[in-house]
Amino acid sequence: MPLTPDDRRQLYRFMCLSRAVEDAAWALAGQGRLVGRLYTSHGQEAIPVGAAYALRPDDVIAPMYRDMGMHLVRGVAPVEVFAQYMGKRGSSNAGKDSGLHIGDMARGIVGMISVLPDSLPVAVGVALAFKLRREPRVALTSFGEGAASTGAFHEAVNMAAVMKVPVVLVCENNGWALSTPPEREFATAAIVDRAPAYGIPGVQVDGNDVEAVHAAVAEAAARARAGGGPTLIECLTMRMRGHSIIDPADYVPRAQLDAWAARDPLAGQRERLAAAGLWDDAREAALQAELRAEVDAAVHAAEAMEDPLPGDVHTGVFAA
């Protein structure tokens, strides 16, 4: 199914919404109004948006901590994001955990943890369940190129390959693992070079091209759904902010940032839409105004929510 004009505008809209939410979050974090540390997808928005948009509603995602766009595409509202970031009582984690660790199986979202890349084996297990039950559903998980150095990555990808489970493995290679560049994480040119080692298809895409990401994931998901097993997709991108809000990222060369700034995924999609006659300044102005309003309202609504009560600490360790 090729993307309709509407789809293509939706992809752009979700990236803009992601950027707007994260810009606001960045400002709030700077003012000390969030709980815990903030990690954002600035510059990488095309990956979570393009990937999640290629899935069906009953597919399951097991995202990484930068994947704002995946949550938005799955229907997580900005107010939910801010409530979560503020640790509000009514948020997904109810203040017990923080960051983008939102979990909600009703919307097919596996809530991540900080340990890298622990959602990956979990996604393989979700996919295994789909396979055992012969359901035409897929699981998609994402992780950084640095996380691919871990044993958990290897065990999970290998198991997925051996069991041929319907999982899509999205590596967001953003040039840095905190302060560590790829050449100190692996001795090959790319993460996708590992696909043959597991006997699975691998594809490398421009991670700043949302339609390319979408196409790659759609193809991988279709293959998985048809019983073709896992695919490793490496999306090349660049982390345009520090690792987290407290990281000034002095170690990143200016030239690298400049080169990638010229390839902003939002601008790229906007220009492509405009060239196709699907976008213009009026639509842009309207969208930005709409997003500003939506985000402002969401921030206010979240801030008005109740904080956790001390006694909440005791609840929920076990399911009853």
Ligand X SMILES: Cc1ncc(C[n+]2csc(CCOP(=O)(O)OP(=O)(O)O)c2C)c(N)n1
Decide: is 149 part of the binding site for Mg ion (CB under 5 A): no
Decide: is 177 part of the binding site for Mg ion (CB under 5 A): yes
Q: Among 27, 114, 267, 293, indicate the residue that binds another protein (CB under 8 A).
A: 114
Closest Cα to residue 207, out of 167, 150, 264? Answer: 264
Residues 6+ apart with CB under 8 A from 220: 168, 201, 203, 231, 233
Contacts (CB under 8 A) with another protein, residues 51-80:
60, 62
Choose from another protein, a copy of itself, Mg ion, none: what does 307 bind? Cβ within 5-8 Å by kind. Answer: another protein
Q: Among 41, 84, 174, 269, indicate the residue that binds Mg ion (CB under 5 A).
A: 174
Strand partners, 143: 171
Report which residue type is found at 252.
V
Q: Which is nearer to another protein, 179 or 288 (CB)?
A: 179
Residues 6+ apart with CB under 8 A from 106: none
Strand, coil or helix: 235: strand
Choose from another protein, Mg ion, a copy of itself, none: what does 232 bind? Cβ within 5-8 Å by kind. Answer: none
C-alpha separations of 218 from 6, 37, 125, 215, 294 in Å = 17, 32, 21, 5, 29
What is the contact surface with ligand X in residues (CB under 6 A)? 66, 114-116, 144-147, 150, 172, 174, 176-178, 239, 243
Tokens representing 311 are: 């006694």
Q: Among 136, 196, 227, 316, indicate the residue that binds another protein (CB under 8 A).
A: 316
CB of 183 to another protein, least distance (A): 10
Tokens representing 286 are: 């309207």
Decide: is 93 part of the binding site for another protein (CB under 8 A): yes
CB of 308 to another protein, least distance (A): 5
CB of 129 to another protein, least distance (A): 4
Decide: is 229 part of the binding site for another protein (CB under 8 A): no
Distance CA 16, CA 32 (A): 24
Report which residue type is found at 88.
K
Q: Where are the alpha helices (DSSP H) in the chain?
A: 5-30, 46-53, 68-73, 78-85, 119-132, 151-163, 195-198, 210-225, 254-261, 265-275, 281-303
Helix, strand, coil share (%) of the chain residues, nearest 5: 50, 10, 40
CB of 22 to Mg ion, least distance (A): 17
Contacts (CB under 8 A) with a copy of itself, residues 166-185:
183-185
Q: Among 5, 105, 115, 155, indicate the residue that binds a copy of itself (CB under 8 A).
A: 155
Tokens 């699975």 belong to residue: 200
Write the DSSP assignment of 131-154 as a string of letters.
Answer: HHTT-S--EEEEEETTGGGSHHHH
Q: Among 179, 188, 256, 288, indicate the residue that binds a copy of itself (CB under 8 A).
A: 188
Choose from Mg ion, a copy of itself, another protein, none: what does 320 bind? Cβ within 5-8 Å by kind. Answer: another protein
Q: Which is nearer to Mg ion, 3 or 190 (CB)?
A: 190
- Which segment (153-161, 217-225, 249-257, 270-278) binds a copy of itself by CB under 8 A? 153-161
Choose from ligand X, a copy of itself, another protein, none: what does 199 bind? Cβ within 5-8 Å by kind. Answer: a copy of itself
**How many residues contact another protein, by CB under 8 A?**
72
Query: Where on the phi/psi map is residue 60: left (φ > 0), alpha (ψ -120 to 50), or beta?
Result: beta
Distance CA 266, CA 12 (A): 7
Q: Which is nearer to Mg ion, 191 or 299 (CB)?
A: 191
